[in-house]
Amino acid sequence: MSDENHLSRIERALAQTGGRVRGTELLNELASASGLPDDLIGHELSRLIVKAGKDSAEITLDELRDLLAQYLQEVLVEAKTSLAENEPPSTY
User: What pLDDT, in 10s, does the model give residues 41-85?
Assistant: 888 888 999 999 999 888 888 898 899 999 999 999 999 998 888
Decide if 37 is inside a domain.
yes
Q: Do the domain assignments include residue 48?
A: yes
91 part of a folded domain: no
For residue 19, give its domain range.
3-85
- Whole-model pTM: value is 0.66
**Is residue 17 one of the residues assigned to a domain?**
yes
Q: How far is CA 6 from CA 22, 79, 83, in A?
A: 16, 29, 34
Q: What is the pLDDT of residues 6-15, one digit of tens each?
A: 566 666 666 6
* Nearest of 30, 19, 27 to residue 59 by alpha carbon: 27
Query: What is the tally of structural domains in the chain?
Result: 1
Residue 51 pLDDT: 92
In a domain, 81, yes or no: yes
